[in-house]
C-alpha cells in the first residue's frame, strides 16, 4: 500500500515532468532509478501501483477552501466541488461550515438540498444532555410550609439587579475584578445580608425579582441579544447552568422565611436565554406549594400586596416618564392601591423620583464596570444588592442595601 503522502508527491512530480514522460518515454527501470534519486524510495511494485493509478487518470487536481490545491480521486471530484460550494456559502453568511447541518444551494438555474458531511456536533450538546438529565433525575419534593397569618406582616422585595453572570472585568484595566465566581458569591452574600437586616420586621411575603440581565450574553458568539460583543468569562452553556443553580440556591434560602412570588423581567443582554432560564426555574419548583411564578415575556409586571401595587421592568424599553400611565393602563389593581411603586434596572445606579401617584426607583448592580464601561466613564457607583420592605397599609417603610467594597 502506497502512502497518500507519496501519491500526492508523485502526482505533483508527474505534472512538473510532463515533457520527460511524454518525449523521453523512460522504461519502468529507468523511471524507478530517477524517482529514487529524487528521494522517493520506491520498490517496483509501488511504482507499478502509481503508474496504474496515474495511467487511468484516477487523480484530479481540485481547488478547495481558500484556494488550496489538492489531488483527489476522479470519482470524488463532484463531491469535493459540492463541499467547496457549501464552504463558500457558509463563509458568505459568516457561519462555521462545521455548524451547518443541512441547507439549500441555489443558483439562477437550479436549487439543490444538501446534507453537510462536514457538520460536527458541538460540545453544547453536552449542555443540553446535562440539563435534561438534571431535570429528569432530580425531581425534588418540597414539603408544604404552613404559615401563621399575621396582621403586622410585611412584604420583602429582594431584587438582585443586573447580575451579568459571565461578565468579565479585569482589575489590571478597570480597577475592579468581576467574573462568574464573584457574581455568584456577591448574590449569595447580598441576599443573606438583606435577610439579616430584616430581623426587626415580621415578613409574611417575599417578592423575588428575577431576570434583568441575569446572564451577560445571549449567543454562542459572546454577544447580547442585539449583537453587541461582550468580554466574557466562561462558555454560555456553563454560565446558564451556574445561573440556574444560583437561582435555586437563593429561592431555597428565601422559602423558610416566607412564601415567595418569583417575577421575571426580560432584558436586553439575555432576552431569549433569560426567558428560558426563568422557565427552567419554574419547572424545577413545579411541585412546591410555597412559591408562585410570573415568567411571561411581558416587559412590565405588576404585583399587589394589600394596599401596595408593585411594578417591575428592566428599564431598557418604555421611557420612565411613561411608566406611571402604563401602570394605570395595564394593571387592574391600580384603583385598589394607594401606594404604587415601580422598580427599574438596566442603568446600574440609584435614582428615585416621585411622580403623580407613583414612585419610580432604579436599582444598583453587584457587577463591576467592564472594559467598555470603564473606558467611557461609566464607573465609580456603589455595587450592591438591594431590598425593600413594604407595610400592608403604609407602603414602603424601609430600604435595605448590602454594599460590596
DSSP state of 315: S
Instruction: List Cβ neighbours of 326 (8 Å cut-off, separation of 6 or more).
Output: 300, 318
CATH number of the 152-404 domain: 3.60.21.10
Q: Distance (Å, rounded) from C-alpha 261 to C-alpha 286?
A: 13
Mean pLDDT of the residues in the chain: 87
Predicted pLDDT at 46:
83
Q: Distance (Å, rounded) from C-alpha 105 to C-alpha 114?
A: 7
Q: Distance (Å, rounded) from C-alpha 343 to C-alpha 265?
A: 11
Predicted pLDDT at 61:
47
Using DSSP, state whether 393 is helix, strand or coil.
coil
Directed axis angle between helix 124-137 and helix 236-254, to 10°? 30
Predicted pLDDT at 78:
63
Predicted pLDDT at 32:
85
How many CB atoms are closer than 10 A to CB 94? 7
Q: Distance (Å, rounded) from C-alpha 237 to C-alpha 30?
A: 63
Measured between its terminal Cα atoms, the distance across the chain in Å is 70
| Degrees to nearest 5, angle at CA 69 with 67 and 75 | 120
Q: Distance (Å, rounded) from C-alpha 301 to C-alpha 207?
A: 12
Q: Distance (Å, rounded) from C-alpha 268 to C-alpha 212?
A: 8
Going by C-alpha positions, the residue among 388, 345, 374, 403 that lies closest to residue 162 is 345
Pairing of the two strands 351-355 and 260-265: unpaired
Q: Distance (Å, rounded) from C-alpha 297 to C-alpha 58?
A: 60
Over the chain (405 residues), what is each successive 10-residue block's mean pLDDT?
76 75 71 85 83 56 51 54 73 74 70 70 67 71 89 95 98 96 97 96 97 98 97 96 97 97 98 98 95 98 98 97 98 98 97 97 97 95 98 97 95
Q: Distance (Å, rounded) from C-alpha 392 to C-alpha 347?
A: 29
Q: Distance (Å, rounded) from C-alpha 376 to C-alpha 389?
A: 35
Going by C-alpha positions, the residue among 304, 302, 298, 330 that lies closest to residue 317 is 298
How many CB atoms are closer than 10 A to CB 290? 18
Determine what percent of the chain falls in helix, strand and coil, rounding each to the nearest 5. Answer: 40, 25, 35
Using DSSP, state whether 92 is helix, strand or coil.
helix
Pairing of the two strands 203-211 and 154-159: parallel
- The residue extents of the domains of the chain are 4-115, 152-404
DSSP state of 95: -
Q: Distance (Å, rounded) from C-alpha 127 to C-alpha 220?
A: 13
Dihedral sign for Cα 255, 366, 233, 120, please: positive
E-strand ranges in 12-137 read 59-64, 68-73, 102-106, 111-115
The DSSP string of 40-54 is ----HHHHHHHHHHH
DSSP state of 321: G
* Total residues found in the chain within this entry: 405
Predicted pLDDT at 331:
98
C-beta of residue 68 within 8 angstroms of C-beta of residue 5: no
Helices (H), 260-317: 271-284
DSSP state of 216: S
- Compute CA distances 288 → 142, 144, 281, whole Å: 5, 7, 11
Amino acid at each position: 500500500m502506497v502512502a497518500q503522502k507519496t501519491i500526492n508527491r508523485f502526482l505533483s512530480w508527474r505534472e512538473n515532468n510532463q515533457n520527460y514522460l511524454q518525449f523521453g518515454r523512460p522504461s519502468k527501470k529507468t523511471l524507478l532509478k530517477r524517482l529514487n534519486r529524487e528521494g522517493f524510495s520506491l520498490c517496483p511494485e509501488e511504482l507499478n501501483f502509481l503508474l496504474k493509478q496515474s495511467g487511468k487518470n484516477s487523480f484530479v487536481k481540485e481547488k478547495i477552501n481558500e484556494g488550496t490545491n489538492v489531488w483527489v480521486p476522479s470519482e470524488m471530484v463532484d463531491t469535493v466541488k459540492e463541499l467547496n460550494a457549501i464552504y463558500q456559502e457558509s463563509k458568505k453568511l459568516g457561519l462555521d461550515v462545521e455548524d451547518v447541518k443541512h441547507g439549500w444551494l441555489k443558483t439562477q438555474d437550479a436549487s439543490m438540498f444538501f446534507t453537510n458531511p462536514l457538520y460536527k456536533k458541538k460540545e453544547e450538546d453536552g449542555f443540553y444532555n446535562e440539563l435534561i438529565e438534571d431535570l429528569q433525575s432530580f425531581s425534588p419534593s418540597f414539603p408544604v410550609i404552613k404559615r401563621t397569618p399575621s396582621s403586622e406582616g410585611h412584604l420583602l422585595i429582594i431584587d438582585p439587579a443586573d447580575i451579568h453572570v459571565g461578565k468579565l472585568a479585569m482589575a489590571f484595566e478597570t480597577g475592579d475584578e468581576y467574573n462568574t465566581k464573584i457574581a455568584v458569591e456577591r448574590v449569595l452574600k447580598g441576599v443573606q445580608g438583606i435577610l439579616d437586616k430584616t430581623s426587626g420586621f415580621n415578613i409574611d411575603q417575599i417578592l423575588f425579582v428575577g431576570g434583568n440581565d441575569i446572564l451577560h450574553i445571549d449567543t454562542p458568539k459572546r454577544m447580547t441579544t442585539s449583537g453587541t460583543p461582550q468580554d466574557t468569562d466562561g462558555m454560555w452553556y456553563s454560565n446558564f447552568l451556574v445561573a440556574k443553580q444560583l437561582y435555586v440556591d437563593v429561592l431555597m434560602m428565601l422559602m423558610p422565611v416566607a412564601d415567595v412570588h418569583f417575577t421575571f423581567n426580560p432584558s436586553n443582554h439575555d432576552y431569549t436565554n433569560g426567558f428560558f432560564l426563568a422557565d427552567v426555574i419554574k419547572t424545577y419548583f413545579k411541585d412546591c406549594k410555597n412559591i408562585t411564578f410570573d415568567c411571561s415575556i411581558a416587559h412590565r409586571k405588576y404585583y399587589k400586596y394589600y394596599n401596595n401595587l408593585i411594578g417591575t421592568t428592566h428599564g431598557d424599553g418604555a421611557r420612565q416618564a411613561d411608566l406611571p400611565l402604563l401602570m394605570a393602563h395595564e394593571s387592574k389593581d391600580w384603583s385598589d392601591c394607594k401606594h404604587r411603586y415601580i422598580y427599574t434596572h438596566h442603568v446600574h445606579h440609584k435614582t428615585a423620583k416621585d411622580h403623580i401617584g407613583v414612585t419610580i426607583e432604579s436599582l444598583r448592580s453587584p457587577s463591576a464596570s467592564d472594559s467598555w464601561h470603564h473606558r467611557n466613564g461609566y464607573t465609580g457607583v456603589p455595587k450592591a444588592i438591594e431590598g425593600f420592605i413594604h407595610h400592608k397599609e403604609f407602603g414602603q417603610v424601609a430600604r435595605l442595601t448590602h454594599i460590596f467594597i
